[in-house]
Structure 1
Amino acid sequence: MARSDPLIFAIAGAALAAVATAGAIRAAVGAAPARVDGPLAVETQQIASSVFANANKTAGPSEDGTAVTPIGYRVIPAGDQTRLGHLPLNAALHPDGRYLLVTNNGQGVQSLQLVDTRTNEVVQTLSYPSPESLYIGLAWSPDGKTAYASAAANSKIRVLSFADGRLTEGDPIKLPTKAPDGKAVTLFPAGLAITPDGKKLVVADQLGNAVTVAGTAGGQVQTVATGHRPMWVTLSKDGRTAYVSNQGADTVNIVDVAGSAPQVTGQIKVGLHPNKSVLSTDGRRLYVANGDADSVSEVDLATKSVTRNFSMSPPKKALIGSNPTGVALDGAGKRLFVTNSGNNTVSVVDLTRGKVLGQIPTGWYPSAVIWHNGRLLITNAKGLGAGPNNGPGYPNPERSGRTSPSQYVGSMIVGTLSSVDVSDSGEQLDAYTRQVERTATPVTRGGDAVVPRKPGDETPIKHVIYIVKENRTYDQVLGSLEKGNGDPSLNLFGDESAPNTRELARRFTTIDNFYAGGEVSANGWNWVAQANSNPYTEQMWPARYSGRKGIYPSENNAPENAAQGPKDSYLWQRFDKAGVSFANFGFYVSRKGNEYHGADPVLDARTDHAFQGDDLACPDSAGTFTPKKSNCLTPRVDRWLKSFRSYEAKGEMPTVQFVRFGNDHTSGTKQGQPTPKAMVADNDYALGRLVDAVSHSKFWKDTVIFVTEDDAQDGPDHVDAHRTPALAISPYTQTGKVDSTFYSMASMVRTIGLFAGIGPLTQFDDSSTPMSASFTDKPNYRTYSVIKPTYPMNSINDPGVLAQTPGGK
């Protein structure tokens, strides 16, 4: 959540070791084989199909060097693998090709790394703990003696001399920190490019909506306003013109950088949210990766128009989700390579024939690609994923000490570098492509008598209530349930503080293999509302959470946050277009005076403006939790109940309701605030009261209540740090059985859509498994009576009173 998530975990200490021997990788959960060779040993990977068909597969890295993402995609990276730092978003090859410079831009300690391209070994790491920063921008001087790196939060460009295979940082190039009117600004430098003579550096100022041209020898620094959220710079061959991708729009700005001051001279319309770009070898064309159009635009620079668009969507997949980020050309300029961060692939495009030749499997979330002497060097921002986070120093809201960076999902994921031979693009590429086809799409279960197979099919469910809570793992709440795959030693919130959540999980379906799509609230809420988290969000949230001046990339109506068109990305927008009735209680709202409003007019029109929005000082329920602010509105569940009683009186209720009960986020050990157990109890009591009301109403017979967390960042889990509680509450789920099918947030979004009668939003919910196995066609109409938590909800944090977590470190 924007409010305080970054403060929950003060990440400190040295960066995790980021050096690996050539061709080897150690996953977060243990050693992996040194490499997967040949055509990926593709034909030996028949395990992929059987693993995907296994309902009990889990997310995270495996000892064989493969992984499953929290959305359920199988990751089997091609080539040799090298462990990097956290969230490598870009790389730049030294002019002589001997070294690759990588920038790691994660939430914890950020770093620059030098990789020897002969051995794929990391030979130097320069660490930058917050508030020092790095970002996407990297550039080498033409003579290779100097490297430049964006330090976004620090309003400067790092200047590093290079000699004898080592980088040494010197005095930076400082960027403006005040606008012409004297107001403070954070330009937040992103992409960099250096002119062929090495005299000027051109910088995309992402949060300043500007471009800066700086003299590399201490000359003038000139800034000009440009498009929305500029992210990347590619220079013309003569270095006189810059082409700047506006990641928050669908344009590339043309900037004259040859004069004494830069000037915007034109604009080219490309696809939605352009990312990196590359110039053709003859300098006549620009290839632009359109992150939320799933395409690459070929731009004729003479006519300033798009001549061709290459689709990055998988075969037979028209929906958005490939999320292309990086582009590179081979030495002859005839093949284009594109990193598809959403599909975990690199597409190979034959520019002569104008067609996509095939796909190369990568690690999770490939972010940049470099061609070098017949090989691709691919940075995978999320590597092989997280795995368990139940080791020493795991997240614990009752502990005032620091969480270990290696146990916090926001900083424990280690990026990787894939080195893949592409000198022969024929038989081997075909083998890679077959591998992608077998593993890129999870096996999808069909519908049953309750969950429709397709939108519009008959179902007894007529109403959906979608409740989203905050930041808990499965083990933290349900680990000691005595059913399902839990670790009792990690259970912090038991029957005293979460009696309703636990009883609902026991009595209805125990769903023990459900994963949040994102690591934190910033990307988690995007998965909640639009079944995707786009490249802008993925690169921006770590800067926000680590105090590096990033902005919160979610829960508002900013166009750059929408993973598709800003008016066509979110569930409520799709419902509105389909004529599906809905009501909103707390999703994507902010306070205006004494009311809460949604920035999106479609959402705001169906928002209860008197429903208390996100504010931890205000209670979810009307228990004995004491508000600490005089301006709190009615407790959230009481306000919802008022609307529900009006639905009962009218005899009709919206098809879908969005309800936010977020106080299980807790305020941690902050003095004077309710204890974590008190806040979880308050939140749990609100949930119980809502279910009680629905189950005793006429709507019970045809309603399902879905409950989950936006993310799982504030707790431990013995399976994977993304695993989180999920509930499906209905007469059609009151079975007491355990459902261990692999589900994700995309599965819940897909299932809600099927009940409401709309199609999938993205590739991710389209290929997810609907939650059919949690339902039965034999309903049990037994009502539910709320359980009041025994833990006192008026308990206030006191260091001498806080309970210790069993198994806590």
Structure 2
Amino acid sequence: MKRKRKKIVMIIAGFTLSSLLAGIGAVNAASSLIVGPQADGTGVTPHGWTLTPAGKGVTLNPFPIGGAISPDRRYLVVSTSGWGTQSLQVVGLPSQKVIQTISYKSPESLYLGLVFSPDGRKLYASAAGNNKIRVFNFNQGILSEQQSVNMSDPNHSNFYPQGISLSPDGKYLYTANNLDNTVSCLDLTNGKIVASVPVGRYPYMTLLSPDGKMLYVSNWEDHSISALRTGDMAVTKVIPVGMHPNALALNPRDGNLYVADSDSDKISVIDGNKLYVTQNISLAPYVDAPAGSIPDALTFSRDGNTLYVANAGNNDIAVIDLRGRYGKGTVKGLIPTAWYPTGVFLSDDDKQIMVLSAKGLGAGPESSRQNIGDMMMGTLSFINAPDQVQLEAYTRQVKGNNQLYAAASGGWINRIFGRTNGKGSPIPRFSGERSPIKHVIYVIKENQTYDQIFGDIKKGNGDPNLAIFGGKITPNLHKLANQFVLLDNYYSNAEVSEQGHVWVSQAEANDFTEKSWMQHYSGRRNGGDWHYGEATRVSQGYIWDNALRSGVSIRNYGESVNFHAGTGLSSTNVPGLGQYTDARYPGWSFNASDIERVNEWAREYSQFEQKGNLPQFETVYLPNDHTEGTRSGRPTPQAYLAQNDYALGKLVEIVSHSKNWKDTAIFVTEDDSGNGADHVDSHREEGLVISPYTQAHQVDSTFYDQMSMYRSIEMILGLKPMTQYDASAIPMLNAFTNQPNFSPYTAEKPTYPLNATNGKNAPMSSSSAKLDFSRPDAADEETLSHALWESAKKNQPYPSLNR
């Protein structure tokens, strides 16, 4: 199987990105990118942001999320919460090496909370999915597990303990019960629950005052902090803060409480005595920046004059000086980290900063046997505290890594012209410009990599050995890619569907989504929001909210809806979307075919066309390329892909023969790459742009991600960016031309039988039978991917797979 990865050159109208940026003061701009980990210890995210973590890096298990430094300051214990094996890892701080790992396979779990006893002889860890607190003896850097404290109460069925705190005398443990919306006090002398009291939705972290008399709790879904007296466990005040608060820290100098508002990109400062917000410290990377920095970890210097904030969305540590006038905090610099920092700690003398990063340096190429969630190894960086000169250099590096200059004031978007030479571009670049495209159809599908579909197209950067659903199964996808534009460097911003649907509808997966999906997928979190819940919602809402704010008419077919098999109707719990949703269009359900879905869409499309009131923006969900694996008696994976392929072909045929074809663009994306195989990177996926203005029979190898498609739709429809990611995305200018070709498209008939079903002895049929297909992000995609691969090896007509 090939493992060669082609260098991805960012070319816009014949200029490299670095030459375009030279005139606007950009630094460290790369002219070529290879997604994933690099040989020199750096990395590149699927959004094209470079990872150049400062300091020395230590590799950890996937998705480190929690950490605690021992009282003697010699050890850091890290809790990793990845998809497969979760673990506690003990890192020796003098040696900067992992000296012990204790692993847990599902259903055994860990999560955020870690706390040492005052004497350092015991460690407590939240095992959220098991509703218990793990207890360890700790001696010279070695953990030995003891009897756990089980959380049991007939009035509470699913605590899901998350953040934890220990009383100063070590006798009582306080837990934030994320799925129970309560805080509990545990008596460690007998292992009993003293009290459980209601707080806000999805409590995340607990923090005790130094004297142990007050307990603060961040309410992750709400916009509030709960303050409790520990003496009687009474909530004394609920303090409004920003959106989706998570991390908490007390300033040792004045006792004020600092709160990371993860979806507001700010720190709320709460007076420790009066318990109200006295100031907010912005973490926006530039003036009027939309959300996306995602602060999620805090720590103070010993003197309380400096606050360090992990910005998970910007891959940096913000260094905040708190010595300003009236105690006003200001960001004085940024330190680059690996991907998605989740923890920041200081050595006892403040001379060294330690940073946990959940996604490390990325994933890289993926074979059919790997799990994307377990490919992204976590990291711990040891960084010498920088002086002002070094901090300024780090800050320039962060800004260069993140291309934030591209978003501020229009950035380089206003300096590139694509193949249109700036004349009549279908994607407007300036305020007041209008696109010849008046209607956009946004098709969202499920879970396929580029190589799985297009690996056999010779003119693109594909690996035919991985094309398990190539041209014989998906003739329309191949014809569309050849007739319009083949995007062979198009990437998902997500790893799985739970993030993917949020990315393609909100332009960001927030802190809740990123820290919950692995728990859901591994069976360690049962309950609570998945996508389209309030906890997953970012500050600007959804793309249809964005459209309505700008007066753009919308219609929704199947996205973010619940399908009711008994009535055959769909409904949505997303506020305000119901009136714009076709209830007769089936949402996620394998009881409906994608051909039936397109037939229903076509019924309304014809009516809109006849009345002359076709919506300007439509979302159309075609999910059956997800497949049911090789579940006995159900359609084969190939039948599902062939059905999905023909449905899309029919949709394009109908539009291209309509009077609206002349001013329509159809954007097609997978919600994510589905844990499938790809020889470039596990995030590379199938994507299409179909319009008279893209009908050029070309290959566009420009580096694009889902946010490029998102931003292009916004620019065509005149919408403002919603987050830092669509704001900084490379628009798909090179996919378009100002010389339209209005020839219609004719759908190809299926070449694989749509009624083919899996037999009783289909490969991995027993594994597929155990998968939960009740919603698109509930199935174990690792098992599903293996089932698809085994099925393809036996059924695909490609000689390279018959081995």
Quote the offset at 1:617 in angstroms. Answer: 3.0
Residue 236 (structure 2) pairs with residue 275 (structure 1): no
Give the gaps of 5 or more residues in structure 1: 1-27, 30-45, 395-403, 622-634
Count of equivalent residues: 726
Q: Render the CA deviation track for 1:238-272: whole Å, top value 9, x for unaligned.
A: 0111100001011100111123xx22111111111
Instruction: State the match for 1:388 in structure 2.
Output: 365
Residue number among 158, 170, 175 corresponding to 2:151 in the alignment: 175
Residue 44 (structure 2) pairs with residue 72 (structure 1): no
Instruction: State the match for 1:429 in structure 2.
Output: 391
1 or 2, which has the higher helix percentage?
A: 2
Instruction: State the match for 2:192 in structure 1.
Output: 220
Quote the offset at 1:53 in angstroms. Answer: 5.1
> How far, CA to CA, are the matches of 2:629 and 2:635 in structure 1?
9
Q: Render the CA deviation track for 1:349-400: whole Å, top value 9, x for unaligned.
A: 011122111000000000110111311111000000110002xxx1xxxxxx
1:455/1:754 contact within 8 Å kept = no
Residue 173 (structure 2) pairs with residue 211 (structure 1): no
1:522/1:541 contact within 8 Å kept = yes
Instruction: State the match for 2:382 in structure 1.
Output: 419
The TM-score with structure 1 as length reference comes to 0.87
Instruction: State the match for 2:537 in structure 1.
Output: 562
C-alpha spacing 1:723/1:50, structure 2 compared with 1 (3 Å): farther
The amino acid that maps onto 1:203 is T
> How far, CA to CA, are the matches of 2:229 and 2:191 in structure 1?
18
Query: Any idea what SS the aligned residue of 2:600 has?
Result: helix
> How far, CA to CA, are the matches of 2:430 and 2:177 in structure 1?
45
Quote the offset at 1:177 in angstroms. Answer: 5.1
Q: Render the CA deviation track for 1:711-743: whole Å, top value 9, x for unaligned.
A: 012410001100001100000001111111111
How do 1:151-162 residues align onto structure 2 when only pairs under 5 Å count?
151-162=127-138
1:317/1:763 contact within 8 Å kept = no
> How far, CA to CA, are the matches of 1:63 and 1:200 in structure 2?
48
Residue number among 739, 742, 745 corresponding to 1:778 in the alignment: 739
Residue 305 (structure 2) pairs with residue 330 (structure 1): no
How do 1:42-441 residues align onto structure 2 when only pairs under 5 Å count?
52=29, 54=31, 57-176=33-152, 178-179=154-155, 185-221=157-193, 222-259=195-232, 262-282=233-253, 284-353=255-324, 354-372=329-347, 373=349, 374-390=351-367, 394=368, 404=369, 407-422=370-385, 424-441=386-403
Query: Any idea what SS the aligned residue of 2:427 has?
Result: coil
Q: Render the CA deviation track for 1:19-71: whole Å, top value 9, x for unaligned.
A: xxxxxxxxx99xxxxxxxxxxxxxxxx9x9798553x5342111111111111
Query: Any idea what SS the aligned residue of 2:248 has?
Result: strand
Quote the offset at 1:165 in angstroms. Answer: 1.8
> How far, CA to CA, are the matches of 2:485 and 2:308 in structure 1?
45
Query: Any idea what SS the aligned residue of 2:33 has?
Result: coil
> How far, CA to CA, are the matches of 1:800 and 1:229 in structure 2?
42
The amino acid that maps onto 1:608 is D
Query: Any idea what SS the aligned residue of 1:579 has?
Result: coil
Q: Render the CA deviation track for 1:692-711: whole Å, top value 9, x for unaligned.
A: 00001101100000001000
Query: Any idea what SS the aligned residue of 1:574 has?
Result: helix
Instruction: State the match for 2:457 in structure 1.
Output: 481
Query: Any idea what SS the aligned residue of 2:372 has?
Result: coil
> How far, CA to CA, are the matches of 2:802 and 2:301 in structure 1?
52
Quote the offset at 1:648 in angstroms. Answer: 2.0
2:64/2:342 contact within 8 Å kept = yes
The amino acid that maps onto 2:395 is T
Query: Aligned Cα RMSD in Å?
Result: 1.9
Instruction: State the match for 1:661 in structure 2.
Output: 622
> How far, CA to CA, are the matches of 1:386 and 1:553 in structure 2?
26
1:541/1:552 contact within 8 Å kept = no
Q: Render the CA deviation track for 1:275-329: whole Å, top value 9, x for unaligned.
A: 1111111462011111001001111021111112111111235210000000000
Query: Any idea what SS the aligned residue of 2:714 has?
Result: helix
Instruction: State the match for 1:758 in structure 2.
Output: 719
Quote the offset at 1:559 in angstroms. Answer: 1.7
> How far, CA to CA, are the matches of 1:50 and 1:358 in structure 2?
16
> How far, CA to CA, are the matches of 2:746 and 2:686 in structure 1?
21
> How far, CA to CA, are the matches of 2:526 and 2:395 in structure 1?
37
Q: Percent identity?
A: 42
C-alpha spacing 1:439/1:670, structure 2 compared with 1 (3 Å): same
1:479/1:487 contact within 8 Å kept = yes
C-alpha spacing 1:239/1:793, structure 2 compared with 1 (3 Å): same
Residue 753 (structure 2) pairs with residue 792 (structure 1): yes
Quote the offset at 1:454 in angstroms. Answer: 4.1
Instruction: State the match for 1:21 in structure 2.
Output: none
2:253/2:303 contact within 8 Å kept = no
Instruction: State the match for 2:475 in structure 1.
Output: 499
Give the gaps of 5 or more residues in structure 2: 6-21, 407-411, 764-790
> How far, CA to CA, are the matches of 2:597 and 2:165 in structure 1?
51
1:86/1:106 contact within 8 Å kept = yes
Quote the offset at 1:550 in angstroms. Answer: 4.1
Instruction: State the match for 1:639 in structure 2.
Output: 600
1:187/1:206 contact within 8 Å kept = yes
2:28/2:400 contact within 8 Å kept = no
Query: Any idea what SS the aligned residue of 1:690 has?
Result: helix
Quote the offset at 1:219 in angstroms. Answer: 4.7
Which 10-residue stretch deviates more, 215-224 or 246-255?
215-224
> How far, CA to CA, are the matches of 1:742 and 1:707 in structure 2?
17
Query: Any idea what SS the aligned residue of 1:685 has?
Result: helix
Instruction: State the match for 1:515 in structure 2.
Output: 491
C-alpha spacing 1:528/1:554, structure 2 compared with 1 (3 Å): farther
The amino acid that maps onto 1:248 is E
Q: Render the CA deviation track for 1:170-221: whole Å, top value 9, x for unaligned.
A: 1111112532xxxx62111110111111111111001110001111222531
Q: Render the CA deviation track for 1:413-452: whole Å, top value 9, x for unaligned.
A: 1110011111x43111111111112221165544651101
C-alpha spacing 1:239/1:475, structure 2 compared with 1 (3 Å): same
Quote the offset at 1:509 in angstroms. Answer: 0.8
The amino acid that maps onto 1:750 is R
> How far, CA to CA, are the matches of 2:429 and 2:46 in structure 1?
23
> How far, CA to CA, are the matches of 1:808 and 1:112 in structure 2?
42
